[in-house]
Amino acid sequence: MTSKAYALASLLLLAPACGVFAQELPPPDDYESRQWVESEAPPPPAFDLDRLIPIDVGPRSNLHYGIDPKTIQITHQDGLVRYVLVARSNSGTINVRYDAIRCATSEIKTYAYANSADGGWQRQDNPPWRPLEGRLSASYAQALVDGGMCVGKSVNGPVPHMIDALKRGGIPTQQS
């Protein structure tokens, strides 16, 4: 057997063992610290119906939505935007939500609900993250994302910048 053939045969015999060793390597020491962790949600903030910025969700909705800009909070360590949103029917019925949007994954979470303007919150136990895409019930959240809460998969901060975009109805696209 020539030395080249011997080297090739040796490599072929060792290849499966290398694959086994590669699969058995433990994750890096900082693996857990690099995983996304949600910060603790603060209690639902007070809101004011007179401060609402209207959110256009399109003609298919029978509700009128608005967000109180004073309730918008960005937590940079987890990339979340938390806010209070008010939905009002034509008859005047009010439903309020304390939500978070995660721009990086296009998800929404509802921490608490209130059925009146007095802010009598009903907190949710371990609320799940839900995808925005394809959810008619989350059309207001998609309108917030498109309206300026997110730029792509990133938070559109700081908060005053986000509020300005929401008031304008979105972030202008650059034309080339």
Domains and CATH numbers, the chain: 43-168 (2.40.128)
Supply the DSSP symbol for 47.
Answer: -
Query: How far is it, in rounded angstroms, from Cα 63 to Cα 89?
Result: 5
pLDDT at 20: 42
Which phi and psi (to 5°) does residue 8 adopt? Answer: -65, -45
Would you say residue 14 has pLDDT above 60? no
Mean pLDDT confidence for 154-173: 85
pLDDT at 2 > cutoff 80: no
Band (174; pLDDT cuts 50, 70, 90): very low
- Write down the pTM of the prediction: 0.75
Question: Where are the alpha helices (H) located in the chain, listed in sequence order?
Answer: 3-24, 31-34, 139-144, 159-168
Do residues 127 and 111 touch, judged by C-beta distance below 8 A?
A: yes
User: In this structure, are strands 64-67 and 53-55 parallel, antiparallel, or unpaired?
Assistant: antiparallel
- What is the C-alpha to C-alpha distance for residues 170 and 91, in angstroms, rounded to an integer? 28
In this predicted structure, the answer to whether residue 88 has a pLDDT above a threshold of 60 is: yes
